[in-house]
Structure 1
């Protein structure tokens, strides 16, 4: 009887948390199917009275949104690729080599990752204007990497420390060079950690708002989160809520697809090392 009550309580708690987390998502999806007349009402209903796809048509035909979507994909992909490569090499060196200041390096990396982004906007704005990086892809990729690299290094160094050193030594005994042993033995074994670091890096670059808004001036490099702030509509007192909700849905779809495709590797990467034995 006690076990049955515990299971019922667990499921009720699970359903409560699920409803609490998914309710805003369902509301945004519902809002994306509502027309301007219905969204402008004082107390709009939860479900649309007359569902319409006009908002999706307007978003798809919006050239500024399409340009910002391309910018988001390109900047996030390049930032992720470079961060994962550099973090893999750095994490391997930190995990395998003994040198003075190893803990200091990790501490500084963690401090950089925790540094407030807002504090860097002013200096970066002036520096990027001087160097000609303002409103360019490199102007966003470089600061993105400064925040994603430390997190990726911390994640990957934990994975490399768990890989037995003997496996690399065995590959070298069989005739593999240090680079071949690293590339063909160590990196495949650390694949869950690499995927985890890549996903976290991509999520940061995809969702970042402050730098994307402050270091761009046109759709030449502006990403989707920053571009959404310019969806003001003809009337400043009645923003286009339907289009904003539709754009949010469209932007969220790639994240959902990535999570579904790499769900097992993400879970393996986040839980690896949690249990010892």
Structure 2
């Protein structure tokens, strides 16, 4: 009986075969587009139009990367993106740490309602917030500044980061903070000296998510900044296409330059991010 059950077709959809299939799908879905962009960035225009299609470049060239930096101020786009992403991530972490600590430790009235509202706000499509945010930035005279992007990016990343950190803070014994406060720490001191270091995986996870959200964002960056000197990378990349031309090898080279910083960040902090997501889901 057990032998027949094991050899049944249903066994193919459970256990190791299913895990290998899922891993293969994720690998192809995540790796193939990145490899295709990389290969395209190393091809010439002539090779790109060959039929049948060539997957790997026959004669790899770095000329597209040189063109990407010479045709547009790609280094300036990179600088603006790095600064906006770093500053918005730092502000997001400070605010979300304080908000998460209040939700996890203070006996707030309507705590469940607050958490529900945070989840609800995080589901709003960005396009529905564009006009109110634009009018707010214009009223504050912040258009064409980094602040016009940093503040909205912080607000957009806060719900997810706050929920992640709340889950972590709830799993830390409160006795550790009480002992620190007996030794002379204030509540704020106990938070940043005891709770935050212990919750490092969660803090790294929230920080990576906030950074990637800021780094990839296009709609607000296009709408709030018309100053060429303040363009971020997603907006700058679209400038490579002409009215009737699409230099895909050059555009792909600029895309690779934009992918590298995030990829390096993920590789460096991979273990912390994975442990942060796993621990957060278990504690939640």
Provide the TM-score with structure 1 as the length reference. Answer: 0.90
Query: Number of paired residues?
Result: 274
SS at match of 2:161: helix
Matches within 5 A, 1:136-151: 136-151=145-160
Corresponding residue of 1:201: 210
Q: Label 1:13 to 1:127 Cα distance change in 2 as closer, same or farther (>3 A).
A: closer
The Cα shift of 1:105 comes to 2.2
Judging changes above 3 Å, is the alpha-carbon distance between structure 1 residues 129 and 25 closer, same or farther for their aligned structure 2 residues?
A: same
Structure 1 residues 210, 50: closer, same or farther in 2, change over 3 A? same
1:243 match: 250
Cα distance between partner residues in 1 of 2:223 and 2:121: 20
**Following TM superposition, by how much is the alpha carbon of 1:176 offset from its aligned partner in structure 2, in angstroms?**
3.0
Aligned counterpart for 1:187 among listed residues 179, 196, 201: 196
Match of 1:254 among 257, 261, 270: 261
Which shows bigger deviation, 63-72 or 190-199? 63-72
**Secondary structure, aligned partner of 1:176:** coil
1:16 Cα deviation (Å)? 4.6
Q: Distance in 2 between matches of 1:119 and 1:198?
A: 25
1:64 aligns with 2:34: no
After the TM superposition, which residues 104-183 of structure 1 pair with which residues of structure 2 at under 5 Å, given as runs? 104-183=113-192
What's the secondary structure of 2:189's corresponding residue?
Answer: helix
Query: Any gaps of 5 or more consecutive residues in structure 2?
Result: none
Moved more, 161-170 or 76-85: 161-170
Structure 1 residue 38 corresponds to structure 2 residue 47? yes
Cα distance in 2, alignment partners of residues 44 and 238 from structure 1: 20
> Which deviates the most, 146-155 or 53-62?
53-62
Deviation at 1:42, TM superposition (A): 6.0
Alpha-carbon separation, structure 2, partners of 1:273 and 1:131:
37
User: Does structure 2 conserve the Cα–Cα contact (< 8 Å) formed by 1:135 and 1:220?
Assistant: no
Of residues 6-15 and 90-99 in structure 1, the stretch that sits farther from structure 2 once superposed is 6-15
2:280 and 2:114 map into 1 onto residues whose CA distance is: 22
Are 2:87 and 1:78 aligned?
yes
For structure 1, which runs of at least 5 residues remain unmatched after alignment?
none
Give the CA deviation at 1:9: 6.1
Q: 1:63 to 1:245 in 2, by over 3 A?
A: closer
Counterparts in 2 of 1:87 and 1:217: CA distance versus 1, 3 Å: same
Name the CA shift for 1:73/1:232 in 2 (closer, same or farther; >3 Å). same
1:15 aligns with 2:9: no
**Does 2:234 correspond to 1:219?**
no
1:28 is matched with which residue? 37
Judge conservation of contact 2:45–2:249 (CA < 8 Å) in 1.
yes
Per-residue Cα deviation, 1:185-217 (whole angstroms, up to 9, x for no partner): 111111111111101000100001111111121
User: Within the alignment, does 1:267 sit opposite 2:274 as a pair?
Assistant: yes
Distance 1:268 1:229 in 2: 36
TM-score of the pair, normalised by structure 2 = 0.88
Distance in 1, Cα, partners of 2:23 & 2:208: 26
Runs of 4+ in 1 over 6 A off after TM superposition: none
